[in-house]
Structure 1
Amino acid sequence: MADKSAPAAAESQRQGSLIPRLRVSRPTMSRVDQAVTDYVLGNPEEVIPAAVADLATRCGVSVGSVVGFCQRLGFKGFSDFKIALAREVAESGLPTDRRSTSDLENVVEFHRLALAETMTLNPAETVDAVVDAILDAGRIEFYAVGVAHPVAAIASAGLTLIGFRANAAPDAHMQLVTASQLGPKDVAIGISPTGRVPETIRSLEVAKSQGATTVCITNSLGSPVANTSDIQLLATPADMDTFTTPLPSLVTHMALVDTIFVSLIRKARPQTAAYQQRANEYIQQWL
């Protein structure tokens, strides 16, 4: 079974991705911290030169709340927070206004930024931990409902194609059944943009109680789905105000699934290539 503490070291590397980390942490923050986060994400270039009292006034919170916000993110205080924010804004080259008159350009830019942020949130060590767990697994079960389930179905189909015993039951009750049948050599992967879907949470809890390694793909750090998972893969739309549904998450979630798929093929090429070749030969007979 995979080392379930492996992602712990990688978690510290996520700390450098301040803006993406604020996005995925926001849903589980207090209202005060959400107010500060919203202002920082919406006005990063105004925050950098601001005094702590000025930011507190703009956010409608106390100075102590701003300092506490910075400390909860792992900084000594507001000054360290501003240095990290300034560095990240400079490195990203984010302009103050990215809007275009073309809807297509806006959507493509939205997804480009979301994919870039998702990449910074997931160190190679975290992805490797997921891949190693799958390589050692006797069985891989995906758990998702609603618009997240197509990602689970595609992921399951991809793993099956290269020789892994993978499944994504479409019914929430059957997902609980499959979770109850897992064991210490198996892997359960929950997919939920909000991280708060009861059916997915429960399936992961049951799988975990049976000793399976639990993995999640979510946009919400600190959510119940994330907290139930041994390994967390984080995704983020670049601007949560652009869309009002979880549909944008499908792009970043699929990017993470594709990364797992490519890594599995690279690490187990002889076996996966043989399964792919055999499947293609039979499929070609029907074309």
Structure 2
Amino acid sequence: MAPQERPGALTLLRAASPALSATERRVADWILTRPEHLLEASMLDVAQACDVSDTTVLRMCRNAGFAGFTDLKLALARDLATPMQLIHDDIADGDDPMTIARKVFARAALSLQDTVNVIDSDDFDAALDLLDGARNVLVGGVGTSGVVGQSFYQRCRRLGISCDAPQDSQVQNIHAALLGPGDLVVAISFSGETKSVVRMAEGARLAGADVLVVTGNRESHLAKTADVVLQSVSHETRNEPLAARLCQLALLDALCVAYSHRHLDEVLTRDRRAGQSIVESSF
């Protein structure tokens, strides 16, 4: 039997409205009367427009059946999107293949530029210090974020950082519970609401480890577990935000390069050894 599709965002909001509190219903009504405005609004923008707290906006989202504010925005974007936008936001019916390629690259470049523009230098310095001082590093993520995690894990190993990145989410949670002070979890989720990744980060924090979060949602459950948040930016309607993965990769690559710069001689020595092993294994 095929999985049942979740109703559209507006349908969920209308269905939930009678059971919401008065202040939550005010937020729902604001969205229902101007859904297109929500796509460009932050949670703070909505809170101010409705004269409520941002906590009320978040609570309304969850009581209406969404994981959080970002989940609501993505669901609404899909509701309002044309079929073409569900494939890619910028393509049109008459586009030839090369035009499509150029538009995909342009959107990816815009996401990367937006991401570098929102990096807070203090947060990036703090993230580097966490990585540099970690006794052990556990990397966790699922889906496309899991692919990013595996890439970061391989970079860390080549840099000489003690690192672990199990792909099974249950194993990620077990390993997180076995961490302690001086250890670091790098938790990756664009939505910041992936339950298994949130549980892993919470388990690591309970064990006394530090938590570095890479996410597109600073108001998410995952971000609230973090010592440091590095934010990626992507404006995609489709279910699998691939530009977001590029931004996550770039953020973590920048972190690795900064670490290499700090430990240049040691990293170059290890890189030569790794390169030599690749040459020898090819014969």
Q: Name the TM-score class by shorter chain.
A: 0.5 to 0.7
Give the CA deviation at 1:168: 0.9
Structure 1: gaps spanning 5 or more residues: 1-29, 44-60, 73-97
Alignment counterpart, residue 264 of structure 1, candidates 259, 268, 277 = 259
- Counterpart contact for 1:36–1:66, Cα < 8 Å: no
d(CA) in 2 for partners of 1:189, 1:228: 11
d(CA) in 2 for partners of 1:109, 1:218: 22
d(CA) in 1 for partners of 2:147, 2:33: 34
Higher relative contact order (CA 8 A, sep 6+): 1
Give the CA deviation at 1:247: 2.6
Alignment counterpart, residue 151 of structure 1, candidates 143, 148, 167 = 148
d(CA) in 1 for partners of 2:32, 2:280: 57
State the Cα deviation string for residues 40-59 of structure 1 (Å, max 9, x = none).
7669xxxxxxxxxxxxxxxx
Give the CA deviation at 1:191: 0.5
Structure 2: gaps spanning 5 or more residues: 1-26, 55-89
Give the CA deviation at 1:220: 1.2
Counterpart of 1:190 in 2: which secondary structure? strand
Counterpart of 2:236 in 1: which secondary structure? coil
Which residue is equivalent to 2:179? 182
Which residue is equivalent to 1:66? 49
- Answering whether residue 231 of structure 2 is matched by residue 247 of structure 1, we say no
d(CA) in 2 for partners of 1:152, 1:140: 11
d(CA) in 2 for partners of 1:268, 1:177: 31
State the Cα deviation string for residues 211-233 of structure 1 (Å, max 9, x = none).
11101111112111111111101
- Counterpart contact for 1:131–1:260, Cα < 8 Å: yes
d(CA) in 1 for partners of 2:35, 2:159: 42
State the superposition RMSD in angstroms: 2.7
Aligned residues: 212
Give the CA deviation at 1:35: 7.7
Which residue is equivalent to 2:9? none
- Counterpart contact for 1:200–1:225, Cα < 8 Å: yes
Alignment counterpart, residue 278 of structure 1, candidates 253, 267, 273 = 273
% identical aligned pairs = 21
Counterpart of 2:191 in 1: which secondary structure? coil
Corresponding letter in the other structure for 1:136: G
Corresponding letter in the other structure for 2:150: A
Counterpart of 1:214 in 2: which secondary structure? strand
d(CA) in 1 for partners of 2:187, 2:33: 29
Alignment counterpart, residue 169 of structure 2, candidates 151, 169, 172 = 172
Which residue is equivalent to 1:129? 126
Counterpart of 2:138 in 1: which secondary structure? strand
Matches within 5 A, 1:184-263: 184-237=181-234, 239-241=235-237, 243-263=238-258
CA 192–276 in structure 1, closer or farther in 2 if over 3 Å, else same: same
Give the CA deviation at 1:269: 0.9
Give the CA deviation at 1:248: 2.7
